């Protein structure tokens, strides 16, 4: 039997809301915390957070995704200008995509991947008030990197969960919102690989309403199908873990990191961080003040990054052994 909510969470059959805390501005801190907890890079956060930072800068500056600019920024982080590569512990799927992009053009990969979900959480904050656009932009960003429909759909679900959390939505209402968003994405994914898998996702998500309250990662995955190689199932398990209002905010992130490593830890961290706002997390990681400011600007502006550090420079400084943190 799954382990149900203990005294660290609130359980109710009613709609659950908490007080809105910053309307999502803590998402980036939570993302970096979850990435760090997953341990992909033993000294802190990994390429998962670095990619999200690139997407966040793009959205702060332009309030839209410019595909060419995102590709160029990622290639710069990977040493395209004959500089030192600064992407750390990147996934195999991202590595193959980068190699293809360096060789000529970015070709979406056929592999299933959790990368789409951890990238798309930024869109949940940027388009938290525009649900239709959120779905469209999550699909567009996902298709830049992936041809697997379940992978792209996992990005839609992650973005939708973060958007709900921006307004302190939780429990059954958060699950229902994710189901509605993924339902709106089905028709946009029909030409991708495994499109038949996506057609059943809205009903699968809706059925999880009765399972809200699970706190153990393995139990959550079992409830959604038990397949560790399916990004949609992993993200659904992460959303189940993040749905209850936990008094110990770090517990769902730790469970997600144990279940799906840094990428799922980052997704759940972003969901929880969007709900609880800017706060310190129990484990340390570099550049936390920078991440807090990224979250604030994405939510409240200004739409300007000229007075913020250049992402490449931050990561090169971190990897060169300089004094950690945002100074």
pLDDT for 53-87, tens place per residue?
999 999 999 999 999 999 999 999 999 978 899 99
Strand residue runs (E) in 89-139:
none
pLDDT for 125-184, tens place per residue?
999 999 999 999 999 999 999 999 999 999 999 999 999 999 999 999 999 999 999 999
% of the chain at pLDDT higher than 70: 92
Torsion angles phi and psi, residue 106, rounded to 5: -75, 115
Residue 18's pLDDT is what? 58
Query: pLDDT-derived band of residue 35, with 50, 70 and 90 as boundaries?
Result: very high
Contact 288, 32 (CB under 8 A): yes
CA distance linking residue 75 with residue 99, whole number of Å: 9
Residue 321's pLDDT is what? 67
Q: Which CATH class is domain 12-319?
A: mainly alpha
pLDDT for 209-221, tens place per residue?
999 999 999 999 9
Residue 95's pLDDT is what? 98
**Residue 12 reports pLDDT greater than 90:** no
Axis crossing angle, helix 115-126 with helix 250-276, rounded to the nearest 10: 30
Strand residue runs (E) in the chain:
9-10, 16-17, 169-170, 245-246
User: What's the chain's Rg over C-alpha atoms?
Assistant: 18
Q: Note the Cα 254 to chain centre separation in Å.
A: 15
Does the pTM exceed 0.85? yes
Tokens for 247, please give them.
């008094």
pLDDT for 277-326, tens place per residue?
999 999 999 999 999 999 999 999 999 999 999 999 999 999 886 444 44
Ordered DSSP codes for 245-266: EESSTHHHHHHHHHHHHHHHHH
Contact 256, 247 (CB under 8 A): no
**Domain spans in the chain, listed from the N-terminal domain onward:** 12-319
CA distance linking residue 7 with residue 248, whole number of Å: 10
């Amino acid at each position: 039997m799954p382990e149900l909510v203990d005294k660290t969470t609130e359980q109710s059959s009613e709609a659950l809301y908490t007080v809105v805390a910053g309307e999502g501005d803590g998402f980036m801190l939570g993302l970096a915390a979850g990435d760090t907890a997953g341990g992909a890079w033993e000294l802190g956060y990994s390429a998962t957070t670095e990619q999200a930072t690139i997407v966040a800068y793009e959205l702060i500056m332009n309030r839209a995704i410019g595909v060419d600019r995102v590709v160029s920024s990622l290639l710069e982080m990977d040493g395209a200008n004959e500089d030192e590569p600064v992407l750390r512990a990147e996934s195999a799927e991202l590595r193959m995509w980068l190699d293809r992009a360096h060789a000529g053009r970015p070709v979406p990969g056929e592999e299933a991947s959790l990368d789409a979900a951890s990238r798309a959480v930024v869109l949940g904050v940027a388009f938290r008030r525009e649900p239709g656009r959120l779905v469209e932009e999550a699909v567009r960003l996902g298709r830049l990197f992936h041809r697997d429909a379940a992978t792209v759909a996992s990005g839609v679900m992650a973005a939708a969960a973060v958007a709900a959390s921006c307004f302190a939505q939780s429990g059954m209402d958060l699950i229902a919102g994710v189901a509605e968003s993924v339902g709106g994405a089905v028709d946009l994914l029909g030409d991708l690989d495994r499109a038949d898998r996506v057609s059943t996702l809205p009903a699968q998500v809706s059925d999880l309403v009765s399972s809200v309250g699970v706190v153990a990662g393995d139990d959550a995955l079992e409830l959604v199908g038990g397949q560790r190689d399916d990004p949609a199932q992993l993200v659904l398990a992460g959303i189940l873990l993040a749905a209850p209002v936990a008094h110990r905010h770090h517990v769902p992130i730790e469970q997600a990191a144990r279940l799906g490593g840094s990428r799922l830890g980052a997704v759940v961290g972003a969901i929880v961080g969007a709900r609880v706002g800017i706060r310190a997390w129990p484990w340390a990681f570099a550049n936390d003040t920078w991440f807090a400011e990224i979250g604030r600007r994405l939510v409240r502006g200004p739409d300007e990054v000229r007075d913020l550090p250049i992402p490449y420079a931050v990561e090169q400084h971190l990897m060169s052994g300089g004094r950690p943190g945002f100074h």
